[in-house]
Amino acid sequence: PGCLLTNIHVDQCQSNGDCAAAFGAGSTCSDGFCVVAPACTTGHDCRRSGGGACAAGECVATIPADPSGACVTVEPAGSETVSLVGPDAPLVVGGMFFLDDTFGPPIRDGATLALRQINQFGGLSGGRQLVMVSCGNFVGKQADSYKNDREAFVLAATDYLAGTLGVPFIVGPLRSADSVPAVAHIIKQGYPTLLISPSATSALLSGDIDKLNSGDLGLFWR
């Protein structure tokens, strides 16, 4: 009497988005069946398999909080709760601005304006919208600890943006002294993330290694 005749029809998946919606970020569609989400090292792994960010070795569907508390500005506002999974999900990019510098806020505002206008006029190819997560506000006790160690902040912000979120590019850093360790760190960690500095001018940056593999395009642009 404990056995019931039920419908055992299998609904086959059509896309990675079907599996991500049913079983979480990182689950992909293979031959009509959903495959368990693999462990991730960076958010780039998650983006390759349907979307999301990498937190504690697992792909998650929304933007995870920055443990340092220094990367807290998200544009458009409220995008922290938007799903990053699926073909229509927004593309998350990064910004690294020191807002205590006189030239930091105007450059941040210019990047924000560009993002808003791109979204206003239809977004990326296929209509995808852009979301920018910016670092450098020094909010909260954890972020305060970086005020006396600027390089530690740069590396932490790079790990969060290029590592956890797996952004394809970061606007910044703005200073040459911040750009040098940032470039070295993305190469050391193997992050395929482009750094676009609006204002770094040091000649050292012309000679630094900024390619993950021979023949690749450089990852530092200015």
- Across the chain, which has 222 residues, the per-10-residue mean pLDDT values are 73 83 79 86 90 92 89 92 90 89 87 97 93 77 63 91 97 92 95 95 88 91 92
Nearest to 90 by CA among 58, 117, 63: 63
Answer whether 63's CB lies under 8 Å from 84's CB.
Answer: yes
Q: d(Cα 70, Cα 164) in Å, to the nearest integer? A: 14
Helices 150-158, 176-189: axis angle to 10 degrees equals: 40
Model-level pTM?
A: 0.85
Cβ neighbours of residue 208 closer than 8 Å, sequence gap 6 or more: 180, 183, 184, 220
The alpha carbon of residue 167 and the mean position of all alpha carbons in its chain are separated, in whole angstroms, by 3
For residue 120, give the amino acid letter: Q
Question: Which string of b and e fits 161-190 if b means at least 16 CB within 10 Å?
Answer: bbbbbbbbbbbbbbbbebbbbbbebbbebe
Q: Name the nearest CA neighbour of 67 among 4, 157, 136.
A: 157
pLDDT of 195 reads 97
107: helix, strand or coil:
helix
- Give the number of other Cβ atoms within 10 Å of residue 20's Cβ: 29
Q: What are phi and psi of 153, to 5 degrees?
A: -65, -45
Question: What tokens does 163 get?
Answer: 């590592």
Q: Is 115 helix (H, G, I), strand (E, B) or coil?
A: helix
pLDDT at 87: 83
Task: Give the list of residues 6+ apart from residue 19 with CB closer than 8 angstroms, or none.
Answer: 13, 27, 28, 29, 34, 35, 50
Q: How far apart are alpha carbons 200 and 220 in whole angstroms?
A: 10
What per-residue confidence (pLDDT) applies to 3?
78
